Amino acid sequence: MGTAATAHSMIQHAGSPTGIWSWITTTDHKRIGILYGVSAFVFFLVGGLEALIMRAQLMKADNTLVSAEAFNQLFTMHGTTMIFLAVMPLSAAFFNFVVPLQIGARDVAFPRLNAFSYWVFLLGALFLNSSFIFGAAPNGGWFGYANLTSAQYSPGMNIDFWALGLQILGIASLAAGFNFIATIINMRAPGMKMMRMPIFTWMTLVTQILVVTAFPVITVALVFLTFDRLFGTNFYNVAAGGDVLLWQHLFWLFGHPEVYIIILPTMGIVSEVLPTFSRKPLFGYAVVVYSGCLIGIIGWGVWSHHMFAVGLGPIADTYFSGMTMLIAIPTGVKIFNWIATMWGGQVRYTTSMLFAIGFVAMFIIGGISGVMHSAATSDLQQTDTYFVVAHFHYVLFGGAVMGLFAGIYYWWPKIFGRLLSEPLGKVHFWMMAIGSMVTFFPMHWIGMLGMPRRVYTYSAELGLESSNFAATIGSFIIGLSMLLFVFNIIRSVRRGPIAGRNPWGAATLEWATSSPPPVYNFSILPEVHSLHPLWTEGGVNAIPDEPPGPVHVPGGSYWPLVTAIGVIIFFLAPLLHMLWPALVGGALTVFAAFNWAFEPFEM
Amino acid sequence: MSNTAAAHYTSTGLDTRKIAFWTFIGSECLLFGTLISTYLVYEGRSVVGPTTQEILNLPLTTISTFVLLMSSLAMVLALAAVTSGDRKYSIVWLATTALLGLVFLGFQVVEFTEFVHEGLTISTNLFGSTFFTLTGCHGLHVAVGVIWLTTLTILAFRDKLGPEKAMNVEICGLYWHFVDVVWIVIFTVVYLLQRGGIR
Amino acid sequence: MLLVLTITGCQGPFPQSTFEPVTSFGESASQLFWMIFWFAVVVFVLVEGALLFAIIRYRARPDGPEPKQIHGHTALEIAWTLAPAWIVALIAVPAIEAIWEEAAPAAEGALVIQVTGHQWWWEYRYPEYGVITANELHLPVGRPVELQMTSADVIHSWWLPRFGGKRDLMAGRTNRLVFTPDSVGEFTGQCAEFCGVSHANMRMRATVTTQGEFDSWVASQTAEPTPLDSLTDLQRRGHELFMTARQPASNSCLACHAISGRSFGVLGPNLTHVGARSTLAGGLIPNDAENLASWLRDPSAIKPGTDMLKGDGSAVGMPTVGLTEDEITALAAYLQSLR
């Protein structure tokens, strides 16, 4: 029992069991967070590989490195993987590990449901990627527009893998959403009012509210698509009076909140990292909270800015243009508050801080191109071209991914008890920063000079070969930087320096525990009196190393995994057009759920 | 705070399961909201029949709606019985709720079978697609509720549903009443406000 | 580094540049872009500048004091909420004006062209003149054009960057795009909504000419095809091959293609005057004997996916018919004669 300042392997800590079975049956939020993090990172590399192949194909005009069909599968899977299998679960890794610690709780509200979310995610990710084995990887784009995705125009299994895979992943996200909302609302330590919550926890709350409201919409859209393909329903069937636009509206009603689901947690991370390494509190905490909430709400009102070329009419176009411009305001306010946080501080250039600063710098550019898109008439030139590819990669890669790396370098010592190498980290940062500028900046003019997106090749006559070549070079620089990162983490696992409780001198509760934390998180429940518990005299009560008496820690359970397996089996039915998997899978799910409900398990 | 007290501490004083369940209900509002909106957007745009006027059986569905409403009453009585520790009436009212739910489903099965015989399947036209998907989704929710209620009935029968377990029943009640409210909206939109014709 | 990047991008020509519009529609989008761009430059310099200043000026000194623990400043928050709001308002006004300007109906006497998107080619009909053609538009300079657009299959998007913004083509809906080309010349564009395997190969071109040249183009497009008795033997053999029913029926030219007065297929492009077009295969390859032969020999080698089948078993595009070399030579000669 005790601190991490021992030679134990970094996964083992106070009272925690070891071995594969303990990981399969774990309900500990810290372990689930690690599972999410490792899986998501693997898929991030897969998605990155898909990108590198695409960039290699596009490095010269009329190239024949990969076929048209292969390329179309690559860009579909790259987008789907990065959004659903990499960035969202990497954020989930942090929700899981960090949020209960930040609010002074022992675990999340429903630990087994938490495990269930992870297993469904993993099995769903494998389901989706198994399509490659069948040579039928999804090929309709990550946004799968009807009626290209209909059985008539996409007769193979590709779209079925996609639609069903997303449904499975949706179940995981929804379950986690209910879990985290209940956790954050009801399990905060005494004294932690809502406006004393760490900003990362706040952004997590807003994100989860977006998840539980937006995912039902895409669920319905995908059910309609699956039913059209499987049962001949008419939701997107023009001949029967249906409208292909129904898909677009439903998809983007989900899709726009989805991009805020992606960015808000990383904004939360940056909002934690910047104050720590400026030795100053976050400037305008309340305003940053409110602007996050406002972004979440307004984010529901802008969806058809993805549809300016559809011909919705001037009234709709005016409304969506206006609302999109409006959302730039709370976003800008956040950026100003971040800069003001560093202003007048003592700024330490740790790797984590570099990534956070990089986030702000790149997000400014991505936000600016976003405002350019908001003007519908000029967007008619920009939409569906490489200009918009530039825009969203600046906010998603330069923004979200950099934010996630800021989080990784920040919380790694807390999670594993050892520090990552700062020099290697800094090289990683600079390679990634330079690589992304070289990759994505040219895409602004590549698009404005006439190259549409989602094209496996282009004519040399466009005059864009050298720019495309430059972008490809940049992408390989990014790839190399990832290899460096992998080397860094392997090295840290083996012989990184011991981290100690609070290597960064941060303010929030997770830094009050040992690194890694004991299995029960806090030896006694914290009582909080300040927004910055560890920076304020008397901000939190003293937390002894050892608990005064025995602490009950729930054991593991295998029912979440079994239930998840039942769910996957069920989804084989519409994939393979067979009935029995639905019966077997359904029965297994119900059986497992009953066992889950009735097994003795106490928090 | 001692660790035993800590285990039961909540920030709001409300049961965590209840909070999670209300979140779930909020999510379900979006689910049914999307299905109902699609139904409304597509109403009257079918290219071929049958149409709503030709096929919907208002008297029959009014009866089944009444049955479902009564089941909510039974649910309220069930919760009262469980809370006051009345084993006999816990069983009676939980079973009644489940039974009425089953009757409602029975009516739906009859209705669906009738429609198929009259030439309306899920793929026949827009109305068939939106109608069967919407009401089928609702029926699925009722079925899950019936299973839940049956389980609670059996627990009550086995003396495992005392007043300390009342929250379980209250949450089932939340679910059941929600499903009922959704049906009231569906009944109003689909059956009472019919504007369907052929485009 | 940015300079290098910008320079590598700067060698023209850029035939599909959005920065060189030849219509007022394109000009208005370009002006809006540049207006926002200059606002963006100012914002970029100010904000990135502030960021850089903050991290350099306030970098940690080894013996530095504890910084002042400022939590916020209400007046500042108000100021930097109002400032972007003001900039946004300044951008919104011209942006919204441009939306309503573009939505105005076409002027009287506009040239109406009906566009139907197919996987992966463009069908053009000029109802005013009775012209039916594919992939290549001819337009008289200075006359307003109204494209009325729909799709025969999936969603496509018509984009000719130098004419202006794009508009989607969807089955069951008719969209319109209105513009007036004010310069003569050749302009290219391509489909901008992912529409299947050969989306990247669905190209288009527009030739804007004087009114006189346009009138002669219309005349030649509405003329009857070269009479059969003035064809050479080789060309006539090609005509016979064209009119032959094959097995399966979908391999017959006349099943999909129309030649005025001879065949009436509507699934593929109208070939009555195909010899006069400058490109083939959806604006993809130059129209010459060798390319035409390659296309007839194996369309899917040039345009992947044309040999795939849709859900109902029909072909997506031109099937690989399996013609002999002699047949190909004859057919090519015939098709080239159709000017």
C43: CATH: 1.10.287.90
For the residues of C109-125, what is the DSSP string, one character each? Answer: T-EEEEEEEETTEEEEE
**pLDDT tens digits, residue range C25-50?**
999 999 999 999 999 999 999 999 99
Residues C217 and C261 occupy one common structural domain: no
Q: What mean pLDDT do residues A538-564 have?
A: 89
Helices marked H in B8-125 — which ranges? 16-42, 52-55, 58-83, 87-117
pLDDT score for C327: 95
Which residues of B are less than 8 Å from A182 in CB distance? 16-17, 19-20, 23
Candidate from A342, A434, A457 with C-beta closest to C200 = A457
Q: Which of C222, C247, C266 is the last residue of a domain?
A: C222
C68, burial (CB in 10 Å: exposed 0-12, middle 13-18, buried 19+): exposed
Question: Out of A11-20, B145-154, C5-14, which region has the weakest mean confidence (pLDDT)?
Answer: A11-20
Q: What mean pLDDT do residues A243-249 have?
A: 98
Domain extent, residue A600, equals: 557-603
Instruction: Flag whether pLDDT at B46 surpasses 80.
Output: yes
How does residue B6 score in pLDDT terms, banded at 50, 70 and 90?
A: low
Instruction: Flag whether pLDDT at B176 surpasses 70.
Output: yes
Residue A458 lies in a domain: yes
Which residues of A are less than 8 Å from B28 in CB distance? 216
| Amino acid at position C67, single letter | P
Residues A515 and A573 occupy one common structural domain: no
Q: Which of C177, C193, C222 is the last residue of a domain?
A: C222
Residue C8, C-beta contacts closer than 8 angstroms, at least 6 positions apart: A442, A466, A467, A470
**pLDDT tens digits, residue range A331-384?**
999 999 999 999 999 999 999 999 999 999 999 999 999 999 999 999 999 999
Candidate from B1, B48, B133 with C-beta closest to A190 = B1
Residue A162, C-beta contacts closer than 8 angstroms, at least 6 positions apart: A76, A80, A128, A131, A138, A140, A144
Cα separation, A89 vs C302, whole angstroms = 41
Residues A538 and A579 occupy one common structural domain: no
Instruction: Flag whether pLDDT at C320 surpasses 60.
Output: yes
Question: Out of A102-116, A414-428, A488-502, which region has the weakest mean confidence (pLDDT)?
Answer: A488-502
Residue C300 lies in a domain: yes
Q: Which of C187, C222, C257 is the last residue of a domain?
A: C222
Any C CB within 8 A of A461 CB: yes
**pLDDT tens digits, residue range C237-269?**
999 999 999 988 889 999 999 999 999 999 999
Coil/strand/helix, residue C235: helix
Q: Taking a contact as any Cβ pair under 8 Å apart, which residues of chain A between 230 and 259 contact chain C?
A: 238, 242-245
**pLDDT tens digits, residue range C146-185?**
999 999 999 999 999 999 999 999 999 999 999 999 999 9
Residues A181 and A209 occupy one common structural domain: yes
Which residues of C are less than 8 Å from A451 in CB distance? 16
Residues C266 and C235 occupy one common structural domain: yes
CA distance B162 to chain A (A): 16
Residues A47 and A116 occupy one common structural domain: yes
End-to-end CA distance of chain B: 68
Cα separation, B63 vs B46, whole angstroms = 28
Residue to substitute from A62, A378, A430, A472, interface C, most C β-carbons within 10 A: A378
pLDDT score for B197: 47
pLDDT score for A12: 34
> What H or E segment, with its residue span, contains residue C40?
helix C24-57
Per-residue tokens: A241: 């009076």
**pLDDT tens digits, residue range A403-421?**
999 999 999 999 999 999 9
Residues C55 and C36 occupy one common structural domain: yes
**pLDDT tens digits, residue range C106-140?**
988 999 999 999 999 999 999 999 999 999 999 99
The CA-CA-CA angle for residues A282, A283, A287, to 5°, reads: 105
Q: Taking a contact as any Cβ pair under 8 Å apart, which residues of chain C between 320 and 339 contact chain A?
A: none
Q: Taking a contact as any Cβ pair under 8 Å apart, which residues of chain A between 99 and 118 contact chain C?
A: none
Any C CB within 8 A of A29 CB: no
Any C CB within 8 A of A434 CB: yes
* Nearest to B33, CA basis, from A228, A224, A220, A245: A220
Instruction: Flag whether pLDDT at A603 surpasses 80.
Output: no
Interface of B with A (CB under 8 A): 1-3, 6-7, 9-12, 14, 16-17, 19-20, 23-24, 26-28, 30-31, 34-35, 38, 41-42, 45-48, 122-123, 125-126, 128-130, 133, 147, 151, 199
Size of interface A-B (CB pairs under 8 A): 126
Candidate from B14, B123, B128 with C-beta closest to A186 = B14
CB contact under 8 A, B122 and A231: yes
Q: What mean pLDDT do residues B135-163 have?
A: 97
pLDDT score for A41: 98
Candidate from A332, A364, A372 with C-beta closest to C36 = A372
**pLDDT tens digits, residue range A261-277?**
999 999 999 999 999 99
> What H or E segment, with its residue span, contains residue A244?
helix A244-276
Candidate from A328, A376, A450 with C-beta closest to C88 = A328
**What is the pTM (predicted TM-score) of this model?**
0.95
Asked if residue A516 has a cis previous peptide bond (ω within 30° of 0), the answer is yes
How many domains does one find in chain A? 2
Cα separation, C219 vs C213, whole angstroms = 10
Residues C215 and C128 occupy one common structural domain: yes
Q: Is residue A560 within 8 Å of A569, Cβ to Cβ?
A: no
Q: Is residue A116 within 8 Å of A560, Cβ to Cβ?
A: yes
* Nearest to A476, CA basis, from A65, A42, A52, A50: A52
Query: Domains along chain B?
Result: 13-195 (1.20.120.80)
Residues A311 and A439 occupy one common structural domain: yes
ipTM: 0.95
> In this structure, what CATH number is given to the domain that contains residue C272?
2.60.40.420
Instruction: Flag whether pLDDT at A9 surpasses 50.
Output: no
Residues A545 and A582 occupy one common structural domain: no
pLDDT score for A5: 31
Which residues of B are less than 8 Å from A594 in CB distance? 151
How does residue A233 score in pLDDT terms, banded at 50, 70 and 90?
A: very high
**pLDDT tens digits, residue range A185-204?**
999 999 999 999 999 999 99
Hey, what's the torsion of the CAs at A52, A56, A59, A65, to 10 degrees? -150
pLDDT score for C278: 95
Cα separation, A430 vs A438, whole angstroms = 12
Which residues of C are less than 8 Å from A463 in CB distance? 11-15
Neighbours of chain B (3+ CB pairs under 8 A): A
Burial A172-189 (b: 16+ CB within 10 A, else e): bbbbbbbbbbbbbbbbbb
* Nearest to C188, CA basis, from C214, C218, C216, C158: C158
CA distance B164 to chain A (A): 15
Cα separation, C179 vs C147, whole angstroms = 9
Residue C162 lies in a domain: yes
- Using DSSP bridges, classify how beta strands C185-190 and C203-209 pair: parallel, antiparallel or unpaired: antiparallel
Instruction: Flag whether pLDDT at A92 surpasses 70.
Output: yes
Cα separation, A285 vs A196, whole angstroms = 10
pLDDT score for A4: 32
Candidate from A188, A217, A549 with C-beta closest to B11 = A188
Residues in chain B: 199
Residues C327 and C238 occupy one common structural domain: yes
Domain extent, residue C51, equals: 17-61+69-103
Any A CB within 8 A of C252 CB: no
Residues A187 and A244 occupy one common structural domain: yes
Q: Which residue in this structure is represented by tokens 């996957």?
A: A568
> In this structure, what CATH number is given to the domain that contains residue A181?
1.20.210.10
Residues A119 and A181 occupy one common structural domain: yes
Residue A12 lies in a domain: no
Residues C216 and C232 occupy one common structural domain: no
Q: Taking a contact as any Cβ pair under 8 Å apart, which residues of chain A between 277 and 336 contact chain C?
A: 278-281, 283-287, 309-311, 313-314, 317-318, 321-322, 325-326, 328-329, 332-333, 335-336
Residues A550 and A564 occupy one common structural domain: no
pLDDT score for A452: 98
The mean pLDDT of chain A is 95
CB contact under 8 A, C92 and A309: no
Instruction: Flag whether pLDDT at B39 surpasses 60.
Output: yes
pLDDT score for A10: 31
pLDDT score for A599: 92
Residue A272 lies in a domain: yes
> What H or E segment, with its residue span, contains residue A49?
helix A29-58
pLDDT score for A178: 98
Residues A525 and A578 occupy one common structural domain: no
CA distance C117 to chain A (A): 13
Residue to substitute from A377, A382, A383, A391, interface C, most C β-carbons within 10 A: A377
How does residue A225 score in pLDDT terms, banded at 50, 70 and 90?
A: very high
Instruction: Flag whether pLDDT at A184 surpasses 90.
Output: yes
pLDDT score for B3: 60
Instruction: Flag whether pLDDT at C1 surpasses 80.
Output: no
How does residue A11 score in pLDDT terms, banded at 50, 70 and 90?
A: very low
Which residues of A are less than 8 Å from C170 in CB distance? 238, 244-245, 310
Candidate from A72, A339, A374 with C-beta closest to C50 = A339
Q: Which of A536, A556, A576 is the last residue of a domain?
A: A556
Q: Is residue A414 within 8 Å of A4, Cβ to Cβ?
A: no
Neighbours of chain C (3+ CB pairs under 8 A): A
Residues C236 and C194 occupy one common structural domain: no
- Using DSSP bridges, classify how beta strands C111-118 and C285-286 pair: parallel, antiparallel or unpaired: unpaired
Cα separation, A244 vs A153, whole angstroms = 13
Coil/strand/helix, residue B121: coil
Residue to substitute from A117, A234, A251, A253, interface B, most B β-carbons within 10 A: A234
Cα separation, A358 vs A402, whole angstroms = 7
Residue to substitute from C169, C194, C285, interface A, most A β-carbons within 10 A: C194
Question: Out of B183-197, C1-15, C55-69, which region has the weakest mean confidence (pLDDT)?
Answer: C1-15
Residues in chain A: 603
